């Protein structure tokens, strides 16, 4: 079974029961600074391990870019 | 006469009166070198969706490796107060900084800030312990209203973002400086270091520049030039400019020379 989520508006599949931490572990190299928003709500870093992702979740992962 | 260069914003002490934006640089290495050369203690950054295919884009790592540097995320891309507030909370979760540059400019043609949405976002964020730094029109009435809701500074534009037209709003900024009880920081429009010096000489607490450095031929050299200009402007402000006069006032004696 796979979980189908939207990651920054693109389809993304994860193993069943996957958490935010599992999603982020798939990025290489690991970015230093990111924030995660699931269905419009900010997920605190402390909750990455316990926040499970389910079918249809809208996930945004944000970082810093250059700006004035 | 105090010549102390430190600037206190929302309880945070900054060692420089130059705030630098991190956009428009050719590459990250040049941006980091310019930040170091500028001597700034506060750098603006923008939120962007993380691209897993280009993870090296991340700016936070290299910026946070600079000792003592603080980050000021902006809310660029927000079209209204609601989006700006959301961006502010995301940014705070991301880096832990209390600084937020409220920047709401819904029209991409002129990038002028929306005063109503800016006010509303500042009101909400100032009530939740953010150090709120609004990019705003050079409007003395709005500046006063923003001060009343608890912003840490007001940041009127000198000219439209990226135009390099300098202090086109000088007269309005003079009024804002005269009436404000929070630091006034010119944000946007500056092109030359001499304009930054002039802004500080007239009483601005700091200047925020980005394009002037990033779009110059040699960003590191220009960052140094702005550093020196801001320092000179601050020394001049602390030293008190001489009064102006409508008539000539001699600096040399005009009598008792040829025995007349």
pLDDT in tens, A38-65: 999 999 999 999 999 999 999 999 999 9
Chain B residue numbers touching A37 (CB-CB < 8 A)? 90
pLDDT for B55: 61
Q: Given A30, A33, A66, which is nearest B31 (Cβ)?
A: A66
Active-site position among B101, B144, B227, B235: B101
- A22-43 residue pLDDT tens: 999 988 877 778 999 999 999 9
Q: Write down the pLDDT at residue B169.
A: 96
Selection from B147, B128, B145, B136 nearest residue B88 by Cα: B128
Residue contacts between A and B (CB atoms, under 8 Å): 109
Cβ–Cβ under 8 Å, residues A18 and A57 = no
> Average pLDDT of B166-189?
96
Q: B260: pLDDT confidence band, cut at 50, 70 and 90?
A: low
Look at A34 and B94 and tell me if their CB atoms are within 8 Å. Answer: yes
- pLDDT of B2 reads 57
ipTM reported for the complex, 2 dp: 0.90
Question: Using CA atoms, how far apart are residues B4 and A68, in angstroms rounded to an integer?
Answer: 26
Contacts by A37-41 with C-beta closer than 8 Å and gap 24+? Answer: A37/A61, A37/A62, A37/B90
- Whether B82 is a known active-site residue: answer no
Q: Tell me, what's the pLDDT at B87?
A: 96
Q: Do B58 and A63 touch (CB under 8 A)?
A: yes
Say what percent of chain B tops pLDDT 90.
Answer: 85
Q: For the residues B48-69, what does the mean pLDDT come to?
A: 84
Put simply, whether A11 touches B (Cβ < 8 Å) is no
pTM, full prediction: 0.91
Confidence (pLDDT) at B51: 84
Residue B258: pLDDT band (50, 70, 90) is low
Band of the pLDDT at B202, cuts 50, 70, 90? very high
Contact state of B57 with A32 under an 8 Å Cβ cutoff: no
Report the pLDDT averaged over residues B89-114. 94
């Amino acid at each position: 079974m796979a979980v189908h989520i939207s990651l920054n508006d693109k389809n993304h599949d994860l193993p069943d029961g996957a958490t935010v931490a599992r999603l982020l572990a798939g990025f290489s190299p690991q970015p230093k600074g990111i924030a995660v928003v699931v269905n419009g709500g900010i997920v605190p870093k402390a909750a990455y391990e316990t926040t499970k992702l389910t079918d249809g979740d809208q996930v945004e992962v944000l970082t810093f870019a250059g700006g004035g | 006469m105090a010549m102390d260069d430190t600037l206190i914003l929302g309880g945070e002490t900054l060692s420089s009166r130059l705030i630098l934006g991190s956009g428009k640089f050719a590459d990250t290495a040049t941006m980091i070198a310019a930040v170091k050369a500028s001597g700034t203690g506060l750098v603006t950054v923008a939120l962007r969706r993380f691209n897993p295919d280009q993870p090296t884009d991340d700016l936070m790592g290299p910026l946070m490796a600079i000792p003592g540097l603080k980050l000021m995320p902006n809310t660029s891309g927000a079209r209204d107060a609601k989006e700006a507030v959301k961006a502010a909370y995301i940014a705070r979760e991301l880096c832990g900084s209390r600084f937020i540059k409220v920047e709401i400019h819904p029209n991409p043609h002129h990038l002028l800030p929306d005063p109503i949405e800016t006010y509303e976002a500042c009101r909400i964020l100032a009530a939740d312990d953010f150090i709120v730094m609004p990019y705003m029109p050079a409007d003395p009435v709005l500046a006063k209203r923003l001060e009343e809701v608890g912003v840490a500074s007001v940041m009127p534009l000198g000219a439209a973002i990226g135009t390099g037209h300098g202090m086109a709003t000088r007269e309005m900024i003079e009024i804002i400086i005269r009436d404000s009880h929070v630091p006034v920081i010119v944000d946007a429009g500056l092109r030359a270091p001499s304009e930054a010096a002039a802004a500080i000489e007239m009483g601005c607490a700091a200047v925020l520049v980005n394009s002037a450095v990033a779009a110059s031929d040699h960003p590191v050299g220009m960052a140094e030039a702005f550093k020196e200009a801001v320092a000179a402007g601050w020394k001049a402000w602390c030293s008190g400019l001489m009064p102006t006069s409508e008539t000539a006032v001699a600096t040399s004696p005009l009598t008792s020379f040829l025995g007349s």
